[in-house]
Structure 1
Amino acid sequence: MSTNPARRNAIEAIASQPRLQGSFDFRNEKIDLIYGQNVFSLDKMEKRLPKDVFKSLKASIEAGIKLDAAAADVVAAAIKDWALERGATHYAHVFYPLTGFTAEKHDTFFEPNGNGTLAQFSGKALIQAEPDASSFPNGGLRSTFEARGYTAWDVTSPAYIFDTENGSTLCIPTAFVSWKGEALDKKTPLLRSMAAVNKAASRVLALFGKKHGYISASCGPEQEYFLIDARLFHLRPDLYTCGRSLFGAKPAKGQEFEDQYFGTIPDRVLACMMETERECFKLGIPIKTRHNEVAPAQYEVAPIYESANVAHDHQMLTMTLLRRVATKHGFVCLLAEKPFAGVNGSGKHVNWSIGGAGVGNLLEPG
């Protein structure tokens, strides 16, 4: 037992902690009913949009054809009505700057006028916004005084509702560029690379006389992470400040016996995993696998592969949900690549391929 009183008290509190009562039970829920319920998916678009607008939007999603302003206004109205029905009060253009995390600015749907308060959301607000870009990292592309940045709606990734305890927000995935068009985020290079893959693959397939349609990259990123009890976490200023250990003695037992890998998942951890999966399912994230990883207190979650762009957005959402749900269960989720010396780090292996509806998986052997 530790001679440090604070650590000893934390360990005693953890040992005497009663089992957390879950707020839901998967046995009483149908996953197919909650899956994607907070996503403005193609089936919801088809039900809510006029046929010609839905056709234009689908062409924009699948072939990159520009959506005209009139159609954008109709789409914005449909998204607004759906979001208000789901209890949303604000909308946000969500983007992915070079910080490695998501960024967003929330604007309310409601604008006062002479007759009271009305919900307003135009096609212009859906397609583009202008957040201040001066304080985001840019890799030396621009000077700080060049503050203007633009977020542009990414039609290939569906809008979704993000629920919190106090309300809900409509989140619109966007690209983030400077006023000169320089990429200030991680989505813009990804979208450009996917367009380049489609162009190059189409040229090759044309040589073989293949009718292929759009060629897309697919990804299935695995996410490894550590769950640390919050009471122990807050005793470590290095973990609290940096998200990883900077000092400390080597533990008496690490991963020498390889008994953690694929072992039985502790009940408290499993409860946290299940709630995270439920939140992922509501956002249409196709979580497939959960298991113990090699290092003590290390775990993994992995999805079914999907379009690389959507997989990227879902990966960022998964990390957000892992951290958020962990706190409800008294944990802190560490996502750093190497939080502890002497044991395995947390990899983010990406299962990647290219293909299309007409040709299947182009990297499948044989």
Structure 2
Amino acid sequence: MSEKCCNSSVERLTEIYGEDVFSLKVMKNYLSEKAFDSLAATIRDHKPLNATIADEVADAMKTWAVSRGATHFSHWFQPLTGATAEKHDSFISPNKDGEIMLKFSGKELIQGEPDASSFPSGGLRATFEARGYTAWDPTSPAFIRRGENNSTLCIPCVFCGYHGEALDKKTPLLRSVAALSKQVCRLAKLFGIKTEGKRAYATLGPEQEYFLIDREFYEARLDLLQTGRTLFGRRPAKHQQMEDHYFGAIKPRVIAFMEELDMALWQLAVPAKTRHNEVCPAQFEIAPMFEEQNLSIDHNMIVMQTLKDIAEKHGFVCLLHEKPFAGVNGSGKHNNWSIVGPDDKNWLSPGDTPHENAKFLTVICALLKAVDTYAPMLRAAVASAGNDHRLGANEAPPAIVSIFLGDQLTDIMQQLEKGRPNSSKAGGIIEIGVSSLPKLPKDVTDRNRTSPFAFTGNKFEFRAVGSSQSCSGANIVINTIFAEAVDEICSELETAVSKGKNFNDTLQGILQGIVKKHKRIIFNGDNYSAEWTKEAEKRGLPNLRNTPDTLEVIEKDKKYGALFEKYGVLTKEEFKSRNDVYHHAYEMTIAMEANCAITIAKTLVIPAALEYQGVLAETIQKVGSISKKITMLESKKLLVSLVSNVEEALAAVSELEASVASGKSAKKTIASMVKLREAIDALEGIIPKDKWPLPTYAEMMFMM
């Protein structure tokens, strides 16, 4: 490629980046100085929104959107379905002369009223109580969603009930961010950092894994169409065991998809950074740059929708289910969490001064305390029928929540527990204010890919989030439990300082106490090993293998609901309603999968097996009639095996039907589904390819 062509490509990239976003840069060209300054303060500093500028902002937003081809606007929100929702309204307003004007008012911008009756609420709203309200979130910019013939202006919003009940994932997320900011600023003040007019916030960089398969195969699989995963399918001889797909050369058809995906995301100012082949054939990953948490989560929801849209244009289907194929790796979403204080610094980065390193270790200890105290709540935040297939397998973090710190930080924690640390595996000593501690290099740890909550240099990577899930749930929990830990540390420090005690000595004692009490949560080894499961049990760490058990734990212990109520993140009623929603979603998913499995077995696989059974029996009879010397022992063994597996499949279908009809527990239904799968997958190994009614794993994973 010529230098001129390369420069042209770079110029094009800088031109399109964010062109479909109503950003601060765009606003400045459409708003008065007064309105711009007011809205910028809301966006940058989270100042209260000035309602008097709403009409001007709405008109400016409409003018800009129409210039980008928009004919409609939509309040874009995130109900408890885990997906996004939108209702489109046109800008058209007819006049008396039968002509139209394009209008968009401040009232329409700030508040909408979609029907709330059909969204899950866990009992917060009765079906006949249809009112639900969307309210503009100005901290996340409006954007254009392009269609075939025109476009829609999407306005990120919260979604609540008539009495203000949170019916979405964004509302409690924003509340948790506020709780975190309050407590971190309080800690900053104790460290002598100026907090007036400042705020703290979490940052996020969610890595997104996904599968691509040819649309033709997808449409031939009723299980994929209805459940998002394959309910049947034998693992092929070659799958991921050669490890040749991971980071391998990307196929031309896939790279064409990825190139268009990047362009579409960049137009929406989604900072897509990395793309590569993942471990399993047909599996890939996209990773963004870090952004402020609320915006990053909105961007990840856009990524998931855009993946599906662009895949369709290339003849693919994007599978976001956590486990679309059995026996090989599933897909997760690595939730890279960090925190920025009111000093605009990342508090999970070791600093260059004693002051900053004391702050860093305080944050580390606060997270140890938070994660150990609320491990079941973190597990509940990622609980779903789909994610239950991943967690605990040798591909994803186990259901046991632990923290990886790496050798050097763990060594420092051990020294801190014993007294004043004065050495380091890396060498070098500095005074950091708390005590004489080793100098902390910028990257103080290797990575542990088996750890659910791993420190990776300047962030913590929570690896248990499912690929189809919103990151909101996990981050609501992390923000809130961290806020409580910091709150309690601050309270101890403030009490001690008010009594004239030395700040550094007090902090030293607090951190020492935290390490002593919560060191059990630290584990740097192989989280997949059987030894760790036994060791975790000795340490008293919970091992919650499935969604029902997890939700039961957090429902029974009142401390979990009380935590969110204390920090104004979720009311008691809102907390309970969400658990009810997640219970219902789990049960409905299992029932749906069971019914789909029954349909496929009875109408596709078993008929094909019976047909081949007849052909094989007839063949054996005809050939055997030629001569008594032809025993056909092996052929008869094949027929016996076929008949046996068909009978097992029929019996498993009957068992599964009875389980579904009786409303038995999901665990029993799942056990019946496993039996049916084993029988069906055995049949796949016997029936000829031309008679097998479903696309195979080998076809779906390798033919693209």
Equivalent residues of 1:62, 1:214 under 8 A apart:
no
Give secondary structure in 2 for the equivalent of 1:137.
Answer: coil
Greater Rg over alpha carbons, structure: 2
Which residue of structure 2 aligns with residue 8 of structure 1?
Answer: none
Cα separation, 2, equivalents of 1:65 and 1:89: 31
Over residues 187-207 of structure 1, what are the superposed CA-to-partner deviations in whole Å (9 max), with x where a residue is unaligned?
111111111111111111011
Does residue 191 of structure 1 match 2:174? yes
Using structure 2 for the length normalisation, give the TM-score.
Answer: 0.48
Cα separation, 2, equivalents of 1:357 and 1:173: 26
Which residue of structure 1 aligns with residue 138 of structure 2?
Answer: 155
Cα separation, 1, equivalents of 2:16 and 2:45: 30
1:96 to 61, 65, 78: 78
Which residue of structure 1 aligns with residue 46 of structure 2?
Answer: 64
Does residue 137 of structure 1 match 2:137? no
Over residues 244-271 of structure 1, what are the superposed CA-to-partner deviations in whole Å (9 max), with x where a residue is unaligned?
0101222121111111111111110010
Which residue of structure 1 aligns with residue 57 of structure 2?
Answer: 75
Cα separation, 2, equivalents of 1:339 and 1:184: 29
Give secondary structure in 2 for the equivalent of 1:90.
Answer: strand
Give secondary structure in 2 for the equivalent of 1:218.
Answer: strand
Unmatched segments (≥5 aa) in structure 2? 1-7, 352-704
Give secondary structure in 1 for the equivalent of 2:241.
Answer: coil
| Offset of residue 280 of structure 1 | 0.1
| Offset of residue 230 of structure 1 | 0.8
RMSD over equivalenced CA pairs, Å: 1.4
Which residue of structure 2 aligns with residue 7 of structure 1?
Answer: none
Equivalent residues of 2:71, 2:90 under 8 A apart:
yes
Over residues 301-326 of structure 1, what are the superposed CA-to-partner deviations in whole Å (9 max), with x where a residue is unaligned?
00001011111111011111100110
Cα separation, 1, equivalents of 2:9 and 2:334: 31
Give secondary structure in 2 for the equivalent of 1:162.
Answer: strand
Cα separation, 1, equivalents of 2:343 and 2:192: 12
Higher strand share: 1
Q: What percent of counterpart residues are identical?
A: 58
Which residue of structure 2 aligns with residue 49 of structure 1?
Answer: 31
Superposed, 1:305-320 pairs within 5 Å as 305-320=290-305
1:155 counterpart letter in structure 2? P
1:43 counterpart letter in structure 2? K
Give secondary structure in 2 for the equivalent of 1:217.
Answer: strand
| Offset of residue 65 of structure 1 | 2.8
Which residue of structure 2 aligns with residue 121 of structure 1?
Answer: 104
Equivalent residues of 2:56, 2:106 under 8 A apart:
yes
Cα separation, 1, equivalents of 2:129 and 2:187: 41
Cα separation, 2, equivalents of 1:253 and 1:96: 40
Which residue of structure 2 aligns with residue 275 of structure 1?
Answer: 260
Does residue 235 of structure 1 match 2:217? no
Cα separation, 1, equivalents of 2:146 and 2:10: 21
| Offset of residue 28 of structure 1 | 8.2
Cα separation, 2, equivalents of 1:210 and 1:148: 45
Higher helix share: 2
Task: Call closer, same or farther: CA 1:44–1:338 in 2, change over 3 Å.
Answer: same
| Offset of residue 348 of structure 1 | 0.4
Unmatched segments (≥5 aa) in structure 1? 1-25
Cα separation, 2, equivalents of 1:358 and 1:348: 29
Cα separation, 1, equivalents of 2:178 and 2:51: 23
2:150 to 167, 189, 202: 167
Cα separation, 2, equivalents of 1:214 and 1:55: 18
Equivalent residues of 1:159, 1:173 under 8 A apart:
yes
1:288 to 262, 273, 276: 273
| Larger relative contact order, structure 1 or 2 (CA cutoff 8 Å, min sep 6) | 1
Equivalent residues of 1:110, 1:119 under 8 A apart:
yes
Cα separation, 1, equivalents of 2:316 and 2:46: 43
Cα separation, 1, equivalents of 2:342 and 2:188: 13
Give secondary structure in 1 for the equivalent of 2:27.
Answer: helix
Give secondary structure in 1 for the equivalent of 2:151.
Answer: strand
Equivalent residues of 1:221, 1:350 under 8 A apart:
yes
Give secondary structure in 2 for the equivalent of 1:121.
Answer: coil
2:194 to 192, 211, 225: 211
- How many correspondences in the alignment? 341
Equivalent residues of 2:194, 2:342 under 8 A apart:
no
Over residues 321-356 of structure 1, what are the superposed CA-to-partner deviations in whole Å (9 max), with x where a residue is unaligned?
100110111100000111111111101001111104
| Offset of residue 363 of structure 1 | 1.3
Give secondary structure in 2 for the equivalent of 1:222.
Answer: strand
| Offset of residue 235 of structure 1 | 1.6
Does residue 325 of structure 1 match 2:310? yes
2:20 to 15, 33, 38: 38
Cα separation, 2, equivalents of 1:356 and 1:43: 25
Which residue of structure 2 aligns with residue 256 of structure 1?
Answer: 241
User: Moved runs in structure 1, 4+ residues, more than 6 A?
Assistant: none
2:77 counterpart letter in structure 1? F
| Offset of residue 357 of structure 1 | 6.3
